[in-house]
Amino acid sequence: MAEILALVEARLRSALGEPDARAAVTFLGTDRFEVLRFTEGDLVRYATLGMSAQPMTDPTAVVADPVRGPRAELVLTVRGGLAPTDRLLRPLAVLAASPQVEGLIVAPGASLDVGEPLWEGAPFTSVLVAEPGGLVEDLALDDPMDPVSFFPLLPMTANEAAWKRVHGAAALQERWLARGTDLRDPLRTAVPLD
């Protein structure tokens, strides 16, 4: 586990630079989760570290495979200085713990909800899991382990999350793109959904 996390942190550093802050959270019955903060110009990126220590397993499986199964970490990017986004640390750690706590398999197109604003005053309580491989490339591990994917998270308003449940993740992403929505803006409002 420690070897995997060292490799994951090295991949994050090679892609995002040196973290300028980190915080750790431990939930009862789970491993320790860290959230690293990387600042580049006006962008602030938050990346989880610890979610990939164990593979995500199907909650209906009789026995969890300790080696095989998808592994992931989460990355969320916002424009800095506009909102108190450092409050994201705990919600991101909660999302990173969800595979261990809830038996959830995180995959592109999924919605993850923390049930409260991602930071004080945020219009977002949930995120859309986007396709990996853009900002941080997947990290191959020794066979038979699956590679670690780094999933970008896109904050969603409650209305966007409800619309996504009906129309799907691809339709919401198309709507954002068509309207020129700045998904990194921590103060943005919901995209028109009519």
User: How far is 4 from 168, CA to CA, in rounded Å?
Assistant: 33
pLDDT range class, residue 13, cuts 50, 70, 90: very high
Model's pTM, two decimal places? 0.93
Query: So what's the pLDDT on residue 183?
Result: 96
Which residues are bridge partners to 22 per DSSP?
36
Q: Is 113 a residue whose pLDDT tops 80? A: yes
Q: Is 29 a residue whose pLDDT tops 80? A: no
Backbone dihedral angles phi then psi of residue 32, each to the nearest 5 degrees = -80, 140
Residues 137-191 have pLDDT tens digits of 999 999 999 999 999 999 999 999 999 999 999 999 999 999 999 999 999 999 8
User: How far is 101 from 118, CA to CA, in rounded Å?
Assistant: 19
Phi/psi region, residue 29 (left: phi>0; alpha: psi -120 to 50; beta: rest), is left
Query: So what's the pLDDT on residue 28?
Result: 74
Query: So what's the pLDDT on residue 11?
Result: 97
* SS3 annotation, the chain: CHHHHHHHHHHHHHHHCCCCEEEEEECCCCCEEEEEEEEECCEEEEEEECHHHCCCCCCCCCCCCCCCCCEEEEEEEEECCCCCHHHHHHHHHHHHHHHHHHCCCCCCCCEEECCCCCCCCCCEEEEEECCCCCCCCCECCCCCCCCEEEEEEEEEEHHHHHHHHHHCHHHHHHHHHHCCCCCCCCCCCCCCCC
Query: So what's the pLDDT on residue 20?
Result: 94
pLDDT range class, residue 31, cuts 50, 70, 90: confident
Residue 82 CA, chain-centre distance (Å), reads 20
C-alpha distances (whole Å) from 110 to each of 113, 115, 158, 167 are: 10, 15, 15, 13
Query: So what's the pLDDT on residue 116?
Result: 92
Q: Is 37 a residue whose pLDDT tops 80? A: yes
